[in-house]
A = this chain, B = another copy of it.
Amino acid sequence: MSRKLRVGILGATGYAAAELMRILLRHDRVEVTALGALPQECGPLKTIYPEFAGRLDLNVEPHDGASLGALCDIAFCALPHAVSYKFVPGLLAAGVKVIDFSADYRLKTDGLYEKWYGHKPDAENLAHAVYGLPELYRDAVKGARLVANPGCYPTSVILGLAPLAAKGLIRPDQVLVNSASGTSGAGRSVKRDFLYCEVNEGYKGYAAGGHRHQPEMAEQLSRIAGADVSVHFQPHLVPMDRGILSTLWTWPTKELSQADVTTLYRDMYDKEPFVVVCDVPPSTKHVVGTNYVHVCPVVAQGKILVFCAIDNLTKGAAGQAVQNMNLVCGFEETKALL
């Protein structure tokens, strides 16, 4: 077997990065060689995440793109939105391929990134970035230097609706997304709202005025549908660590039976290694800790409800990132993900 590829991770102290390390420890073609974070967050990994004691003996260092790029063959950039774009050019310049977790390279529509994030994107690299949803863009991902790993909510929404959207079967003005996420979606930032006693035994909506994942959903669904799809998106916070369920409300453009809809979904997904079409609405519990998507379309009262469950840290972040890395590097797509 050829030597292992060296992997670097920026933003190594966050929950998505920790999940990424868990997965990569099971991957026999790569080894994690460098971890970067803000100076004030650096230190031995085992004090930052005690679970890695004895498993991954590295220090988290205050790297920039260039310094991390010099230590690895492929880099994961697990930094926040509007931070990532400061590090990605340095990584690419160092000649490494990059899987970026932020929104900084996802929105291709002119002006859309600037509208939601308040500054201009890294246009040069945005131009060649590939949206890393393998179920839709597998071939493009294989040749990418920079993969924009999809957001967690968008992954659940786009995969949940793609079979209908691709056939022009949903009314593009009536796509309602009611999502709920485990608390790891908020990251490891230390804020009162995310203390145990604030979150536990409570359920609430947030970002009622508009959430930054909405334009990503709309852009992708419009691309799939070949028409402007406007998405109404409302996220909620659930007292659990991990998992997203999106309950998608759509109205069909023509009458469809349950059998019609099930067939559509099976046709699109039965050969996908990570998408399972279910007969009953899934619980997030069935996918937590895995890279799987459980999707269940239900015809009811004239509408099509679709339930789509993923693990926000896995298929919604680190697992999908490894799936993308596998494609980029020519490994088996499912390696370390089964």
- Chain A residues in the interface with B (C-beta under 8 A): 15, 25-26, 50-51, 53-55, 176, 178, 180, 182-184, 188, 190-192, 194-206, 208-210, 232, 234, 236, 238-243, 245, 247, 249, 276, 278, 280-290, 292, 294, 296, 298, 300-301, 303, 305, 307, 309, 338
* Copies of this chain, count: 4
A202 / chain B contacts, CB cutoff of 8 Å? 240, 243, 283-286, 288
Task: Give Cα A331 to B52, complex, Å.
Answer: 24
Q: Are B236 and A239 in contact (CB under 8 A)?
A: no
| Listed residue (A50, A180, A202) with the most chain B CB atoms within 10 angstroms of its CB | A202
Task: Give Cα A225 to B197, complex, Å.
Answer: 37
Report, nearest first, the 7 A-B pairs whose CB atoms are least far apart.
Answer: A202-B285, A204-B283, A196-B199, A202-B283, A54-B276, A178-B178, A51-B286
Q: Are B239 and A240 in contact (CB under 8 A)?
A: yes
Q: Are A188 and B195 in contact (CB under 8 A)?
A: yes
**Known contacts A26-B26, A287-B51, A292-B54, A281 near B195 by CB under 8 Å:** no
- The residue on B at minimum CB distance from A230 is B301
Q: Are A236 and B204 in contact (CB under 8 A)?
A: no
- The residue on B at minimum CB distance from A22 is B289
A201 / chain B contacts, CB cutoff of 8 Å? 182, 201, 240-243, 284-285, 288
